[in-house]
Amino acid sequence: MTEPGQVFSALKATCLDDWDAFIRHDFVRQLGAGDLPEACFRHYLGQDYIFLIHFARAYALACFKSDELDDMRAAAATLDALINAEMALHVKYCAGWGLSEAEMAALPEADANLAYTRFVLDAGMAGDLLDLLVALAPCVMGYAEIGTWLAADSARDHDQATRYRDWIALYAGAEYQEVAKGALEQLDRVAARRLGAEPTASPRWAKLAKTFRTATRLEIGFWDMGLAPPG
């Protein structure tokens, strides 16, 4: 495989139905159309705050598990960006939605959140760096696809003044797209180092595809959770 993103494409191809159910989820459609109930969005934002913490822990684990400096550097930079920069942006954005950091930190963690984040962390602990990166891929790459899709869709079909414009702009924006591209390339690189030139021919492929699919299903569960705010 030599085309950039080929490992991700090959993984996605093993579970296209699940992938579409994640990317085109009702939560996403409603968010793009601007008619997602605000209670749902707030519920999502609060849980996403908790999610980001464990997602950052997964990048810390990726750094711990790297045996090449380039992978350590990539993981350390992502981790620092997440926990020392993005987190502050997220907190500020949430404040605009009436959610204080103290409130979010006190929220009970939803089961869908526990399932997704702890699955990713355990996939990394039980396996190697590649197992971990594959478990992380649906989130990183999925949000890039969703951002791009919604931005294009919004431009075409909807009033730009949607309530969720800033959220869409974040993931459609050049900075996030660059992060996703970096993750795509790292997945190719680590797969080449650990599986060789034909990842899909490796005896590990079926297990990696299962991990990718489970993480994708857990993304769907996360959107489902978003549509069902408590109370």
Residues that are catalytic:
139, 219
Place of tokens 């494409």: 9
Q: Binding to a second copy (CB under 8 A): which residues in 99-158?
A: 105, 109, 111-112, 114-115, 118-119, 121-122, 125-128, 131
Q: Quickly list H helices, the chain.
A: 6-13, 16-23, 26-33, 38-65, 69-81, 87-96, 101-106, 111-126, 129-157, 165-172, 174-195, 205-227
Give the contacts of 16 (CB within 8 A, at least 6 positions apart): none
Interface map 15-54 toward a second copy (x if CB under 8 A): --------------------------------------x-
Q: What is the number of residues in the chain?
A: 231
CA dist., res. 164 & res. 169, Å (int): 9
Q: Binding to a second copy (CB under 8 A): which residues in 154-193?
A: 192-193
Angle at 219 between CA 215 and CA 225, to 5 degrees: 140
Q: Is residue 203 involved in binding a second copy (CB under 8 A)?
A: yes
Shortest CB 1 distance to a second copy, Å: 13
Binding-site ranges for a second copy (CB under 8 A): 53, 56-57, 60-61, 63-67, 69, 72-73, 75-77, 79-80, 82-84, 87, 105, 109, 111-112, 114-115, 118-119, 121-122, 125-128, 131, 192-196, 201-204, 207, 214, 217-218, 221
